[in-house]
Amino acid sequence: MNYDIIIIGAGLGGLTAGAKLAKQGKKVLLTEQHDRPGGCATTFTRKDFTFEVGLHEMDGPGPRDLKVKIFRDLGLTDKITLLDVPEFYRFVNERYDVVIPHDPEEAQARLTAFFPDDEEGIKTYYYYLLNSRKILAEENLDPGKSVGEFLDEHIRNDDLKLILLGNLGYFHDDPYTLSLMYYLVAQGSYYGGKASFIKGGSQKLSNALVDVIEENGGTVKLNHLTTEIIFENDRPVGVRYENTKGKTKEVFTAYAGEIVVNASVPALVNKLLPGNHGKELSDKMEGLKPGASLLTVYFGFCKSLKEVGNSWYSTFIFDPTIKTQKDILPNNHSEFETRGFTLVDYSQLDSDLAPAGKGVGAVCCIDYASDWEGLDRETYLKKKDYVAETIIARCEKLIPGFRDALEYAEVGTPLTVKRYTLNPEGAVYGFAQNPGKPMDYLSALPENIYIASAWGKFGGGFSGSIYSGYMTALDILRKR
């Protein structure tokens, strides 16, 4: 079959690119190896609970938020409902319990009340975040500088640094290897005064994007893995793909002028591009590493956590052993008794995820696929049980009555993420955003292959992936 565009993968980047291209009249084929669209942006059900896989909070919508324009352009505004997340996050360690609002003025005032000696540093931190684009364009910011170095330069109090880094896991596992340039834009976008969750879960957004593709004549093939990009006369001309469900394996071939890759860039190089074609790209990727992965414990409650006494949407817990920024990375590799985590209480704002009177929550922390690889099935399951039990005990300490309210718990590891997204090491944000991270790997792509995912130039998260998909579509439309 011939198409204008073939898209490999139905994560947010692939779906957004597909929706825009189909809406502009292009004949689109999208293949997805999993049984549902969305990649990380999916939900799954157990008993009568709907569990969110990959969204705690999405930055925006705000006045300067490109997603507002994208959602409007794709006709999504009536198809999904964005719920305002009440606070940015609550931070708890042994010395502090602080709630950071999304409003930057309020956030500064609150932090200054706790840390009056750091008033100037707090002002500087927020000035950089709120003016990140101007600063990146006009100031000679060192691309090799890390967030950790920036905080050490401007903030004196170690607890204040930790509080500001409460949600570091949204981006990376270590402040000293996270690019300041990337952080300023990404963290700054959460201070637009608002952040949101998608009512009913992120699957609603992914499904709505599939609808746009199909309503505009495009084809979305779930349960179909693309195995190879076909070259003719040294030019990519199509793909080979096969079904992942069913008794007999069928292999299909499709041709198109342009190929959009939502699958990871390492998979493109190592699996999809044949022979030598990946070599140039692979050389340019030297030094780039897959970014962090996450472990999640999904909780279904027989009564909502609100009833049990919790008042916060997301609470970040830092163990007493984290005293300075330098302790964060070792802590992310520590046992689950001490590892930092976030508790998300979805029932604070979305009642669609559980039946009336019940609730859904999740605990999430940085984790590493290598810690789970090579275990036999029994050991793997036992380790999951130990993790669930350890985290439940820690949540009970935080919210007495947590255990009694619990009806269901399940652990998803980095290997779970890897299995459902095929991302190497279960990476959820694409390449690690290390200081000075080279971008020229993108220029080594054949001119009709595009990256629309967290592995592209905008980085990971909902916003990064959506922008990557939309901009890719615009690039193709302009070219054609």
Ligand X SMILES: Cc1cc2nc3c(=O)[nH]c(=O)nc-3n(C[C@H](O)[C@H](O)[C@H](O)COP(=O)(O)OP(=O)(O)OC[C@H]3O[C@@H](n4cnc5c(N)ncnc54)[C@H](O)[C@@H]3O)c2cc1C
Interface residues with ligand X (CB under 6 A) are: 8-13, 31-34, 39-41, 53-58, 225-226, 262-263, 267, 294, 296, 364, 417, 421-423, 428-429, 453-454, 460-463, 465
Q: Residue 114 or residue 231: which is nearer to ligand X going by CB?
A: 231
* Closest distance of CB 128 from ligand X, Å: 21
Q: Residue 198 or residue 322: which is nearer to ligand X going by CB?
A: 198
* Closest distance of CB 223 from ligand X, Å: 9
Alpha-carbon span 255 to 2, nearest angstrom: 5
Q: Residue 138 or residue 250: which is nearer to ligand X going by CB?
A: 250
* Closest distance of CB 478 from ligand X, Å: 21
Residue the block writes with tokens 């201070």: 191
Q: Residue 190 or residue 402: which is nearer to ligand X going by CB?
A: 190
Alpha-carbon span 443 to 440, nearest angstrom: 5
Tokens matching residue 51:
């569990």
* Closest distance of CB 277 from ligand X, Å: 16
**466 phi-psi bin (left φ>0, alpha ψ -120 to 50, beta other):** alpha
Number of Cβ within 10 Å of residue 222's Cβ equals 17
Q: Residue 310 or residue 421: which is nearer to ligand X going by CB?
A: 421
Amino acid code (one letter) for 334: S
Q: Residue 18 or residue 39: which is nearer to ligand X going by CB?
A: 39
* Closest distance of CB 247 from ligand X, Å: 20
Listed in order, strand segments (DSSP E) in 168-250 are 195-198, 219-221, 224-232, 235-243
* Closest distance of CB 344 from ligand X, Å: 8
3-state DSSP assignment of residue 31: strand
Rounded to 5 degrees, what angle do the CA atoms 408, 410, 412 make? 160
* Closest distance of CB 461 from ligand X, Å: 3
Q: Residue 187 or residue 465: which is nearer to ligand X going by CB?
A: 465
Q: Which residues is 25 bridged to in the sheet?
A: none
* Closest distance of CB 264 from ligand X, Å: 7
Alpha-carbon span 90 to 298, nearest angstrom: 20
Burial pattern 325-357, b for ≥16 Cβ within 10 A else e, equals: bebbbebbeeebeebbbbbbbbbbebbebbeee
Distances (CA, A) of 193 to 87, 134, 286, 292, 401: 10, 19, 38, 27, 33
Q: Residue 325 or residue 413: which is nearer to ligand X going by CB?
A: 413
Tokens matching residue 373:
């690889």
